[in-house]
Chains A and B, each alone.
Chain A
Amino acid sequence: MGTVWGWVSDRWEVVVLAVLAVAPLVIPALGGALGGQVTTLFIYCILALGLNVMVGYTGLLHLGIAAFFGIGAYVLAILTVPTFPFQIGWLAAAAVSIAVTAGIGLALGAPTLRLRGDYLAIVTLGFGEVAKVTLRNLEQVTGGMKGLNPVPPPGAGVTVAGTDLGLAFAVDPRWFYYLTLASLAGVVWAMRRLENSRLGRAWVAVREDELAASAMGISATRVKLSAFAMSSAVAALAGCLYAASLSTTADPNAYDFNRSILVLCAVILGGLGSIPGTLLGVAILVGFDTVLAPWADSLIQQLNINPSGSSLLSFSGWRLAIFGIALVLVMRYRPEGLIPSRRLAAELHGDQR
C-alpha cells in the first residue's frame, strides 16, 4: 500500500489531471451550467498560481492581482472584438495580452521593487484601484461600465475536419472545460519546472533573506522583477481565458480589490509556495462562495429561522467576517497553510526530501 500511496502522492497532479479529464465523459452535468462553473474554478486556479509566484515563492505581498487579470482580459478583448478593427486570431491576441501585461508588471515593479517590501503592498493596492477606475473611465477603449463584447471564442473561424472550432466552443461548454484544464495543467507543469530551477531557487532565496541572497551575487531586484512579470503573465493568461469563456470582459468592477483578496486568501489558506495547497485553497474558497453559502442560506430559509430577512441571520451576510477570521486564524495557528510547500513542510515536520 505504501508504494501505491507514494506513487500517487508523488504524481498527484497526473492523477488529478486524469480524473478531471475523464470527468466530463462520466458526469453529463459538466456539459451544462456546472461545466461553466468548473471552468471558472480552473481559471481562478491559474490566477492563484500566478499570484503564488509573487506571494508564495518570493514573499512579496501583492494586493492587486485582479488588475492584471483584468488587463489581460481587456487586451485580449480589444484585439478580438468586432468593435475594433484589429480582430486578430485568438492565440496571437492572447500572446500579445500576456506580453503586454507582463510589461505593465515590469513597469510597475521597476521603480518600486527596490524599496522596502511593505511599499509594494501599497503600490499594488493602489494600482489595482487605479487600473479599475481607468478601465471604467476609458470609455472609448474599454466600453466603460458595459465592458467589451462579444469576445469571440478561441478558434473562431478556424475549421478543423468540417467543424468550426469557434462554433464548437460556443455550443458545448466542455470545449472551454478542456481548454482551461489544459492551460491549468500547463501552468502547473511550468511552475514545477521553475520551482526546481535556478530562478525558483533565487525566488525562494530572496524570500528567505534578501540581503544574504544579494551578497551571493543575486540581483534581488531582477529576481523580484522576474517574479512580478511571471505573476502578471500568468494572471493575464487567466484573464484571457476568463474573457473568452464569458465572451465579455464584464464590467471593470469584476476586477476589484475583493477579487484580489479572494485569490490571496486562497493562496495563504492553501499554503504559501505550495502548488497543491494553492489549488486546494481556490477550491475551498470558490466552493464556499458558490456551494456552501447558497446552501446554508437556503437551509436557513427552509428552517424559517430568519423570517424578517435580517442580514445578521443569513449566512452570506457573514462572508467577509468569515474570510477575515480565517485569515487571522491561519496566520496565528497554521501560517504554512493547509498543504505546506515541500520546503516548508520539511522544516516543520523533519522530513527529508
Chain B
Amino acid sequence: MSALFFLQQCLIGLTNGALVALMALGYTMVYGIIRLINFAHGDLIMLGACLALTLVGAFGLEAAGTATAGVATWLGIALLVGLCGLFCGLVNVAVDRLVYRPLRDAPKLAPLVSAIGVSFIFMNIGLFWLGPADRSFPQLLPTANLLPGEGLQFGWKDLLVLVVVVPLMAALMVLVKSTRLGKAMRAVSQDETAAALVGVDVDRVIAATFFLGGFLGGAASVIYGLYINTIGFQMGFQNGLYAFTAAVLGGIGSIPGAVIGGLVIGLVRALSTAYVGERWAGAMVFAILIVILVFRPEGLLGRRTKEKV
C-alpha cells in the first residue's frame, strides 16, 4: 500500500467522481428550481445509455484496435454525446410537461411519488430495449496508458471523461452565471411568484432546466457506457442513488456543490474499494452522507434556506 497506490486510487476516484458529478447536476438543477427530487433521473441516464448502445451499432463505431483513437472515433463519440444529450433532454422536458407541470401546486409528496412512477416506466422501457441481462458496451478507445512510466495508469477512457465533463461543467457555469436564461433560472429558484411577476416565463424556464439537466444526463450516459463498459436496465437505481447523494453532499441546488459532491463520492468509493473492500463502498458513502447531514445539513457548499412564513 504505497503512496503510488494511494495516488492511483485518488486518480480513479476523481475520474469516477467527475462522472458522478455530471449525473448529480441533473438532480441538483431540477431540485434547485422546483424542489423536486427527480427520482427518474438515474433511469433517464439508463435510457440514454440504451440509445448510445444502439447508435454505436448503427454508426459502426466498434473498431478500436490502434494505440491512439482515430479522428473518426472522437467525432463519433462527440456525436453520441450530442444525440444522447438531446434525447435525454427532450424526454425530460416531455416528462415535465406531462407529469410534473400539472402537479406544480400539489402537495410535495405528489410530484415525488410521480417521479418514482416515471422511473418505473423508464425502467420498463429499458427492460424492453436491453433485455433483462446486463449488456456489454463496446470498448471504443484504446487501453494504452497515457502517462509515462509504469506507476500511474491514466488511459484514454479517463481522458475522455475529463475532456467531456470539464467543458460541459464550465459551459453550464457560464450559462447559469451570465446568460438571460441563467438569470431567469436563478430568479425562479429564489421565488417563483416574484419571477413570474417581473415577466419571467416560469414554465419555460423550468422546461429549460429539465432540458439542461437531461442533456447532461444524456452526456453522462455515453461516458458511463464508454467508461464502465457494462449497462443494464437496473443501472439507473444505483447510479441515481450515488448521484443524488453527491448532490446532497455538495449542497442540493448548488451547481459547484454537485461537482464537489461528485468528486467526494468518487474518492470515497475508490478509496474504500481499495482499502476496505468493494462490498463496503456503498456503506462508506452512506456513512459519509449521514456525517455530513449531521454536521452540515445544508451540504458542503449549500446555503441555509429560510422558510417562508
**Inter-chain contact A325/B117, CB cutoff 8 Å:** yes
Of B102, B112, B132, B309, the residue contacting A61 (CB under 8 A) is: B112
Cβ of B25 within 8 Å of any chain A Cβ, yes or no, is: no
Take A112-B290, A117-B108, A321-B120 as given contacts and tell me if A331 and B114 are in contact as well, using a CB distance cutoff of 8 Å.
yes
**Inter-chain contact B283/A134, CB cutoff 8 Å:** yes
**Inter-chain contact A257/B237, CB cutoff 8 Å:** yes
B-chain residues with CB within 8 Å of residue A59 when the two chains form the complex: 107, 109
Take A111-B290, A127-B286 as given contacts and tell me if A122 and B37 are in contact as well, using a CB distance cutoff of 8 Å.
yes
B-chain residues with CB within 8 Å of residue A211 when the two chains form the complex: 307, 309
Take A323-B120, A331-B103 as given contacts and tell me if A126 and B127 are in contact as well, using a CB distance cutoff of 8 Å.
no
**Inter-chain contact A119/B297, CB cutoff 8 Å:** yes
- Interface SS majority for chain A: helix
**Inter-chain contact B241/A129, CB cutoff 8 Å:** yes
Q: CA–CA, A323 to B123, complex, Å?
A: 11
B236 to chain A, nearest CB (A): 11
A74 to chain B, nearest CB (A): 16
**Inter-chain contact B124/A324, CB cutoff 8 Å:** yes
Cβ of A311 within 8 Å of any chain B Cβ, yes or no, is: yes
A337 to chain B, nearest CB (A): 11
Interface centre among B106, B109, B241, B289 (most CB of A within 10 A): B109
Cβ of A332 within 8 Å of any chain B Cβ, yes or no, is: yes
**Inter-chain contact A268/B113, CB cutoff 8 Å:** yes
Output the nearest chain A residue to B284 by Cβ-Cβ distance.
A130
Q: CA–CA, A136 to B282, complex, Å?
A: 13
B109-133 near A? 1/0 per residue, CB < 8 Å: 1111110111111111101100110
Take A122-B37, A211-B307, A324-B121 as given contacts and tell me if A311 and B112 are in contact as well, using a CB distance cutoff of 8 Å.
no
Cβ of B245 within 8 Å of any chain A Cβ, yes or no, is: yes
A293-325 near B? 1/0 per residue, CB < 8 Å: 000000000000000000110000111110111
B102 to chain A, nearest CB (A): 6
**Inter-chain contact A320/B297, CB cutoff 8 Å:** no
**Inter-chain contact A111/B119, CB cutoff 8 Å:** no
B-chain residues with CB within 8 Å of residue A121 when the two chains form the complex: 37, 112
B residues engaging A (CB < 8 A)?
Answer: 31, 35, 37, 99, 102-103, 106-114, 116-125, 127-128, 131-132, 237-238, 241, 244-245, 248, 279-280, 282-283, 285-286, 289-290, 293-294, 297, 307, 309
B-chain residues with CB within 8 Å of residue A123 when the two chains form the complex: 289-290, 293
Q: CA–CA, A325 to B241, complex, Å?
A: 22
Q: CA–CA, A272 to B108, complex, Å?
A: 14
B-chain residues with CB within 8 Å of residue A134 when the two chains form the complex: 283
Q: Which 3 A-B pairs have the closest CB atoms?
A: A324-B120, A327-B117, A321-B124
Q: CA–CA, A155 to B141, complex, Å?
A: 63
Count residues of A near B (Cβ-Cβ below 8 Å). 45
**Inter-chain contact A325/B108, CB cutoff 8 Å:** no
**Inter-chain contact A111/B293, CB cutoff 8 Å:** yes
Of A122, A321, A332, the residue contacting B121 (CB under 8 A) is: A321
A242-272 near B? 1/0 per residue, CB < 8 Å: 0000000000000001000100100010001
Of B35, B102, B108, B120, the residue contacting A320 (CB under 8 A) is: B120
B134 to chain A, nearest CB (A): 16
B292 to chain A, nearest CB (A): 10
A-chain residues with CB within 8 Å of residue B127 when the two chains form the complex: 311, 317, 320
Cβ of A133 within 8 Å of any chain B Cβ, yes or no, is: yes
- Interface SS majority for chain B: helix
Output the nearest chain B residue to A261 by Cβ-Cβ distance.
B116
Cβ of A137 within 8 Å of any chain B Cβ, yes or no, is: yes
**Inter-chain contact A328/B99, CB cutoff 8 Å:** yes
**Inter-chain contact B286/A130, CB cutoff 8 Å:** yes
A264 to chain B, nearest CB (A): 8
Q: CA–CA, A121 to B35, complex, Å?
A: 13
**Inter-chain contact B128/A317, CB cutoff 8 Å:** yes
**Inter-chain contact B35/A118, CB cutoff 8 Å:** yes
B-chain residues with CB within 8 Å of residue A264 when the two chains form the complex: 113, 116
Instruction: Other than A118-B108, A122-B37, A137-B280, give 12 A-B pairs with Cβ distance below 8 A.
Output: A118-B31, A118-B35, A123-B293, A133-B279, A317-B128, A319-B124, A325-B117, A327-B117, A328-B121, A331-B110, A331-B111, A331-B113
B300 to chain A, nearest CB (A): 14
**Inter-chain contact A326/B290, CB cutoff 8 Å:** no
B26 to chain A, nearest CB (A): 15
Q: CA–CA, A323 to B108, complex, Å?
A: 20
Output the nearest chain B residue to A126 by Cβ-Cβ distance.
B286
B-chain residues with CB within 8 Å of residue A127 when the two chains form the complex: 286
Q: CA–CA, A328 to B119, complex, Å?
A: 10
**Inter-chain contact B120/A133, CB cutoff 8 Å:** no
Output the nearest chain B residue to A137 by Cβ-Cβ distance.
B279
Take A119-B297, A327-B113 as given contacts and tell me if A321 and B125 are in contact as well, using a CB distance cutoff of 8 Å.
yes
B77 to chain A, nearest CB (A): 31
B-chain residues with CB within 8 Å of residue A112 when the two chains form the complex: 290, 293
B-chain residues with CB within 8 Å of residue A311 when the two chains form the complex: 127-128, 131-132
Cβ of A125 within 8 Å of any chain B Cβ, yes or no, is: yes
**Inter-chain contact B117/A122, CB cutoff 8 Å:** no
Cβ of A31 within 8 Å of any chain B Cβ, yes or no, is: no
B262 to chain A, nearest CB (A): 15
A143 to chain B, nearest CB (A): 16
B280 to chain A, nearest CB (A): 7
B301 to chain A, nearest CB (A): 16
Of A126, A133, A327, A332, the residue contacting B289 (CB under 8 A) is: A126
A132 to chain B, nearest CB (A): 10
B-chain residues with CB within 8 Å of residue A312 when the two chains form the complex: 128
Cβ of A89 within 8 Å of any chain B Cβ, yes or no, is: no
A325-350 near B? 1/0 per residue, CB < 8 Å: 11110011001000000000000000
A-chain residues with CB within 8 Å of residue B35 when the two chains form the complex: 118
A263 to chain B, nearest CB (A): 13
Output the nearest chain A residue to B289 by Cβ-Cβ distance.
A126
Cβ of A29 within 8 Å of any chain B Cβ, yes or no, is: no
Interface centre among A129, A137, A324, A327 (most CB of B within 10 A): A324
Cβ of A88 within 8 Å of any chain B Cβ, yes or no, is: no
Q: CA–CA, A325 to B122, complex, Å?
A: 11
